[in-house]
Amino acid sequence: MKLATLFLFSTIRLATPLLLAALGGLYSERAGVINIALEGLMLAGAFTAAVVTHAAHSPWAGLLAGIAAGIAIALVHALAAIRFKANQVVSGTAINLLFAGLPPLLSGALFRSAGATPQIPRGELLPLAPIVIAFLLVPLTWYVLYRTPFGLRLRAVGENPEAADTAGIAVARMRYVAVGLSGALAAVGGAYLSIGQSSLFTRNMTAGRGFIALAALIFGKWRPVETMLACLLFGFAEALSIQMQGVARLPVQFIQIIPYVLTIVVLAGFIGHSRAPSALGVPYQEKR
Amino acid sequence: MSDNEGPAAAPPPPPSSPPPPPRSRLAGGWRAVASPLAAVLAAFVVGGIVVVAIGDDPIETYKLLLGSALSWPDGIGYTLFYATPLIFTGLAVAVAFRCGLFNIGAEGQLYIAAFATAWTGITFAGLSPWLLAPLACLAAVGSGAAWGALPGVLKARFGAHEVITTIMLNFVAVAMASYLTQYHFRKEGDPILETVPIGAGAHVARLGHFLPGFPERIPLNLSFFAALAACVLVYAFLWRTRWGYEIRATGESPLAAQYGGISTGRQIVLAMAVSGGLAGMVAINEVMGYRYRYYDGFSTGYGFTGIAVALLGRNHPVGVVLSALLFGVLLRGGLFVEIFTEHVSKDLVLVLEAVIILFVAAEALFRGGGLGLPRGQKARPGTPGTTL
């Protein structure tokens, strides 16, 4: 079936940015730092990647710049959350707001546009690499998390920082690394939107995907494989709503809300229970 | 609402949240003002750097921003008009904060309320204004409260964290209102996604209607006074009633509150309902006082700006009014900055807002020694130590 293949590919393509951001969120949250800034981090990656690709005529340079921006911004969140013990939801909200505003402000000045970057020629767009990377990252993340000392420390820091500290793990450093990783991955997800799926950055182009990624992370119970399945499900919902636009009688709004409703249902424990890492959101003061 | 009584109503703490170390009340009051002021100043400095970076003059930009926002009558009229919804959402977020809850769902609550208000105004358009206007207001508050209570119940009954459920419910609310508008209440052939107009009986009068010399084209309406009244009521509710006391006790220390015989679950639902009802009052300004219909995508993030307003206002009604006025100035001035500067767009306002939140959140920056570590693990009052 040709249509089925197309639909499958469309699902995978749409799930990719979600998966990258959700895996990013997974590192941060398993280490105990809430990351509702995924939306802002994706926007930071998407915008930086588009601008640098436009300037350097290389999507790889764009991707790297996007990653660098993602890490830098994530570290601002980490600094606020870890060093200054800021409320992590608040600082995440601030970053989301910042990247609702900063990209259009800068592109208005750089390109005299109302928030968009110039069109990038087709030949200078990212190939399908991010899709491959995203799905390879799932087993890799599983392996890192459950089979390496780094993963054990990461989880320890997120579940019981006191014990981790006593065992000689540098809690703050682990958390910085984890939040930095989340910035890098969310930025790749954003870059894939602007210089992969599309060919320019537009104002608020993530359109809530950072929050859907967060939903997928919770729906996937903070575990890599389950999170991937959730992303595929939400990607499928999006593919379906695009396919049905103007065709079916069922309003698209009903399909659009599926990820959100499912997350609430799972979080409330109606279908299985999703348990957050114990120390998620709790600042920790190292005892030294 | 009864006055303080019974053992649960111990002497209420002073209205401005006292900082953890014991200090004189005056010093506490000064500190309550100093760090928000520092955050605003810091944000303007960061914003100025951004303005320089994109090639404009920051002093001129800020002059333009303030000048256009404070001119009479247009500047002040619009500034107060923009501040009105922010007072409502700021109060909404603040009430939830006081109960230790983070209501990121004000945006969804005000969307549901706006649609419900428009629906009431359309369906009962024939009623006399004496009935229709109160009914529409009731729809605004009631529907917002119901939509707000939902995450409260999900938390109290099922342990689902309100940060996530309110974010998710925002999307659900916007989609639902948009679906109803698109498929059931749209004027035929209208290219814009909006409902048919509400009955004239549900209109809230604009200030120009009473105030000589104040042009009626400025949409500032009586809702502004409703917002101020809401501040007084919220203050009285939180600090002068038993329910308010129990909400604050739940926010300060849920375990101690439970031990003291307070049903924290009920307080959580109550606080979220009050919070949602306040957010819903935005509809009185937007639907009944301004557009006279539900308009898809009408909110420019009032619910999210409400978070900044509450944080900057230290979750106190007086602080909320002051910071809502500041953000009103920014919203109004931002439009002029966009038109009259070479490069800067109104998105500068979002950047300022974000930096203010960031600095308020990382308050330790401004505490003694700058980089000094905060004392102890105790969460600051009014800002819950959010754990998922």
Specify the pTM: 0.88
ipTM, two decimals, is: 0.88
Query: Distance between CA A155 and CA A141 in Å, rounded?
Result: 12
Task: List, for residues B338-379, the tens digit of each pLDDT value.
Answer: 888 888 998 999 999 999 988 888 776 655 333 323 333 333
Task: Identify the CA nearest to B17 among candidates B42, B36, B2.
Answer: B36
Mean pLDDT of A262-283: 81
Nearest-CB residue to B364 (from A85, A100, A101)? A85
Type of residue found at A8: L
Is the CB of residue A47 less than 8 Å from the CB of residue A107?
Answer: yes
B154 touches chain A (CB under 8 A): yes
Is B247 an interface residue toward A (CB < 8 Å)?
A: no
* A88 in B contact zone (CB under 8 Å): yes
CB contact under 8 A, A87 and B361: yes
At A209, is the pLDDT very low, low, confident or very high (cuts 50, 70, 90)?
Answer: very high
What are the tokens at A72? 């830098």
User: Is there a contact between B379 and A272 (Cβ–Cβ < 8 Å)?
Assistant: no
Q: A128-159 in b/e burial notation, b at 16+ Cβ within 10 A? A: eebbebbbebbeebeebbeeeeebebbbbbbb
CB B208 within 8 A of CB B216: yes
Determine contact: B353 vs chain A, CB below 8 A: yes
Is the pLDDT at A272 greater than 90, yes or no? no
Lowest mean pLDDT among A120-129, B73-82, B118-127: A120-129
Beta carbon pairs, A and B, within 8 Å: 175
Mutate to test the interface with A, among B112, B186, B358 (most CBs of A within 10 A): B358
| Cβ distance of B104 and A89 shorter than 8 Å | yes
Which pLDDT band holds residue B111 (cuts at 50, 70, 90)?
Answer: very high
A91: chain B residues, CB-CB within 8 Å: 357-358, 361-362
* CA–CA dist B153, B145 (Å, integer): 12
B251: confidence class by pLDDT, cuts 50, 70, 90: very high
